[in-house]
Structure 1
Amino acid sequence: MKNLLLLLVVLTSPFVSCTSESIDNAKILDDGLIENKSKKTAKLLQNLNPENPANVYDIAGKIHNDILDVYLSGNYSYNTIAQISQKVDSIAALNSDLLNMGTSLPCNFQEIQETVNDPQIKLEQAIANSLMTNAAKISLSNFMDSILLLETNEYAVIHQSIISFEASVISNTQFSNEDKRIILTTSSIVRHSTYYAKERKDKDWETSVGNRVGAVQGALENSSTAVNKSVVTGIIVQSQAE
Structure 2
Amino acid sequence: MKNISLRLIILPLLIVSCTTDTIDNIESIDSKISSKESEKSARLVQNMTPENLANIYDFAGKLHNDILDAYLSGNYQYNTIGQISQQIETIAAQNNDLMLLTSGTNLSPNLIVIQEIINNPQSKLDQTILNSTMTIAAKDNLSNFMNDILLWENDSYEEIYQYIISFESAVIANQAFNSEDKRIILTTSSIARYSTYYALERKDKDWDTSTGHRVAGVSGAIDDPCTAIKRSLVTGIMIYNQ
TM-score range (shorter-chain normalised) is 0.7 to 0.9
Q: Where do 1:188-227 residues align within 5 Å? A: 188-202=190-204, 205-227=207-229
Residue 60 in 1 paired to residue 60 in 2? yes
Q: How far is 1:202 from its partner?
A: 4.1
Which residue does the alignment assign to 1:6?
Answer: none
Which residue does the alignment assign to 2:84?
Answer: 84
Contact 1:185 1:219 in 2 (8 A): yes
| Distance of aligned partners of 1:83 and 1:40 in 2 relative to their CA distance in 1, 3 Å threshold | closer
Which residue does the alignment assign to 2:16?
Answer: none
Partner Cα separation in structure 2 for residue 150 and residue 194 of structure 1: 10
Partner Cα separation in structure 2 for residue 236 and residue 53 of structure 1: 30
Which residue does the alignment assign to 1:3?
Answer: none
For structure 1, list consecutive stretches of 5 or more residues without a partner in the other structure: 1-29
Q: How far is 1:205 from its partner?
A: 3.6
Which residue does the alignment assign to 1:109?
Answer: 111
Q: Which moved more, 1:183-192 or 1:200-209?
A: 200-209
Which residue does the alignment assign to 1:144?
Answer: 146
Letter of the aligned partner of 1:235 in structure 2?
A: I
| Distance of aligned partners of 1:86 and 1:54 in 2 relative to their CA distance in 1, 3 Å threshold | same
Partner Cα separation in structure 2 for residue 160 and residue 107 of structure 1: 30
Contact 1:98 1:224 in 2 (8 A): yes
Contact 1:207 1:234 in 2 (8 A): no
Q: How far is 1:65 from its partner?
A: 0.4
Contact 1:193 1:207 in 2 (8 A): no
Residue 168 in 1 paired to residue 173 in 2? no
Partner Cα separation in structure 2 for residue 123 and residue 156 of structure 1: 26
* 2:189 aligns with one of 187, 190, 213: 187
Number of equivalenced pairs: 209
Moved beyond 2 Å, runs of 4+: 37-46, 202-207
| Distance of aligned partners of 1:41 and 1:69 in 2 relative to their CA distance in 1, 3 Å threshold | closer
Q: How far is 1:51 from its partner?
A: 0.7
Greater C-alpha Rg: 1
Partner Cα separation in structure 2 for residue 189 and residue 164 of structure 1: 15
Partner Cα separation in structure 2 for residue 40 and residue 106 of structure 1: 42
Contact 1:104 1:222 in 2 (8 A): no
Contact 1:85 1:232 in 2 (8 A): yes
Letter of the aligned partner of 1:115 in structure 2?
A: I
Q: How far is 1:78 from its partner?
A: 0.6
For structure 2, list consecutive stretches of 5 or more residues without a partner in the other structure: 1-28
Contact 2:50 2:194 in 1 (8 A): yes
Q: How far is 1:107 from its partner?
A: 2.1
Which residue does the alignment assign to 2:158?
Answer: 156
Q: How far is 1:40 from its partner?
A: 6.7
Q: How far is 1:152 from its partner?
A: 2.4
Among all aligned residue pairs of Structure 1 and Structure 2, give the percentage whose two residues are the same amino acid: 60
Q: How far is 1:215 from its partner?
A: 0.3
Partner Cα separation in structure 1 for residue 41 and residue 135 of structure 2: 41
Q: How far is 1:199 from its partner?
A: 1.9
| Other structure's SS at 2:150 match | helix
Q: How far is 1:43 from its partner?
A: 4.8
User: What is the CA RMSD across the aligned residues, in angstroms?
Assistant: 2.2
TM-score by length of 2: 0.80
Residue by residue, what CA displacement relative to the aligned partner does 1:15-34 show, whole Å, maximum 9, x if unpaired?
A: xxxxxxxxxxxxxxx99xx7
Partner Cα separation in structure 2 for residue 203 and residue 121 of structure 1: 23
| Other structure's SS at 1:62 match | helix
Contact 2:217 2:231 in 1 (8 A): yes
| Other structure's SS at 1:138 match | helix
